[in-house]
Amino acid sequence: MSTATIIDGKAFAESLRTRVGHVAADFTAKAGRKAGLAVVLVGEDPASQVYVRNKGKQTLACGMESFEHKLPADTAEADLLAVVAQLNADPAVDGILVQLPLPAHMDEAKVIATINPDKDVDGFHVVNVGRLATGLPGFVPCTPLGCVMLLKDKLGSLSGLNAVVIGRSNIVGKPMAQLLIAESCTVTVAHSRTKDLPEVVRHADIVVAAVGRPEMVKGDWLKPGATVIDVGINRVPGVEEGKTKLVGDVDFGSASEVAGAITPVPGGVGPMTIAVLLRNTIVAAHRNMGLALDEGVL
Ligand SMILES: Nc1nc(=O)c2c([nH]1)NC[C@@H]1CN(c3ccc(C(=O)N[C@@H](CCC(=O)O)C(=O)O)cc3)C=[N+]21
Ligand SMILES: [Mg+2]
């Protein structure tokens, strides 16, 4: 039987988007224009198209402008860089997101390096990575920031807690570790080469699973009462022939019998990622226009 509290990321994301909407209306009144988010999608990956469509819809629903740039999969890297440069120069664009992954013929690091760091609402530019690592104001990657928001909402102070992050990607694992360090957690970063992962996880008050392996983390790995944040979005064959279902990196069935609280997939971290993107965009709009904003209201 499931005994864990389910952390409702979908509901939290909705309330965050409502707060972003109020701040966005205030911005429009002060700036005389709406805040704008540009999303660049290269290629026709169906999952990416769904995400981009959802981002666009939610951007508009928050009272911000959405600019979508869809480029064919065989676009030359130079042409993508030119689009980014044009968005950097456009005063109607406060935030720029280039959907990843990019086609194999493109150098992702080079493309990200071209984005103006002050419009980099994904927080992927090395300048923002450095700002996060050194405690300067900048932009923090949306998924890990969303995870910390859920953790603080659930636990209050995270100070002194043992946190184990499984995964060391630039997008989730590494920035997640930085944020947890800033919250005064004792942080362990585990990954595919970690020896005896269950034994490492057993010490964690907080587990953040971001490895991309369906249902890898089992309930009997967990310290009873641990808070489990599942970042995984894995599409696997469903019970019905030909259908797929979405599962996380955590085996929800067994984990929810041991954890104190756990995020579901779907409806956990995923919706937070988009809500934080909108939050980062309205923050960028204020900063770049020199308008004051109490970021604590977000
Ligand atoms: N530059 C860049 N920034 C990103 O933030 C970025 C990206 N590239 N590339 C792709 C990934 C993926 N991503 C998700 C966003 C929302 C959900 C989401 O809302 N998921 C729903 C389910 C959606 C479904 O049913 O497929 C949920 O978990 O409840 C998932 C995944 C952002 N990404
Ligand atoms: Mg890894």
Compute CA distances 10 → 94, 139, 261, whole Å. Answer: 25, 22, 15
Question: Tens digits of per-residue pLDDT, 277-293?
Answer: 999 999 999 999 999 99
pLDDT for res 47: 86
Instruction: Say how many CA atoms lie within 13 Å of 134 toward its Cβ.
Output: 9
Residue-wise pLDDT tens digits, 247-269: 999 999 999 999 999 999 999 99
CA angle 269, 259, 184 (to 5 degrees): 70
Kindly report, residue by residue over 166-180, the tens digit of the pLDDT: 999 999 999 999 999
In this prediction, residue 169 carries a pLDDT of 98
Considering the domain 142-270 in this protein, what is its CATH number? Answer: 3.40.50.720
| Burial bucket for residue 81 (CB in 10 Å: 0-12, 13-18, 19+) | middle
Residue 106 has pLDDT above 90, yes or no: yes
For ligand 1, what atom is nearest to the CA of residue 277?
5
Say what the pLDDT of residue 132 is: 98
By the 8 A CB rule, do 293 and 23 touch?
Answer: yes
Average pLDDT taken over every residue of the chain: 97
- Domain 32-117 class in CATH: alpha beta
Rounded average pLDDT over 9-36: 98
pLDDT, position 225: 98
32-117 and 142-270 share one CATH topology? yes
pTM: 0.97
pLDDT at 100: 95
- Which ligand 1 atom lies nearest to the CA of residue 98? 1
Closest CA to 171 of 85, 91, 276: 276
Among the residues of 62-203, which ranges form H helices? 77-89, 108-114, 126-134, 142-155, 173-182, 197-201
Is the pLDDT assigned to residue 273 strictly greater than 80? yes
Residues with CB under 6 A from ligand 1: 50-51, 97-100, 122, 142, 233, 246, 265-267, 270-271, 273-274
Mean pLDDT of 122-131: 98
Residue 97 in tokens: 């997101």
pLDDT, residue 2, reads: 82
The proportion of the chain whose per-residue pLDDT surpasses 90, expressed as a percent, equals 95
Query: Is residue 93's pLDDT more than 80?
Result: yes
The Cα–Cα gap between 284 and 35 comes to 9
Can you give the residue ranges of every domain in the chain?
Answer: 32-117, 142-270
| Residue 25 pLDDT grade (very low, low, confident, very high; cuts 50, 70, 90) | very high
Please report the pLDDT score of residue 145 as a whole number. 98
Average pLDDT over residues 92-107: 97
The mean pLDDT value for 189-210 works out to 98
CA of 192 to the centre of ligand 2 (A): 5
| Residues with catalytic roles | 55, 99, 122
pLDDT given for residue 81 in this prediction: 98
Residue 1 has pLDDT above 80, yes or no: no
Task: Tell me which ligand sits closest to the C-alpha of residue 98.
Answer: 1
Backbone φ and ψ for 57, nearest 5 degrees, come out as -60, -45
Give, in order, the Cα–Cα distances in Å from 12 to each of 8, 200, 204, 269.
Answer: 6, 30, 24, 10
First CA to last CA distance, the chain: 36
Q: Judging by beta carbons within 10 Å of its beta carbon (0-12, 13-18, 19+), is residue 64 exposed, middle or buried?
A: buried
Tokens 């894995």 map to which residue?
234
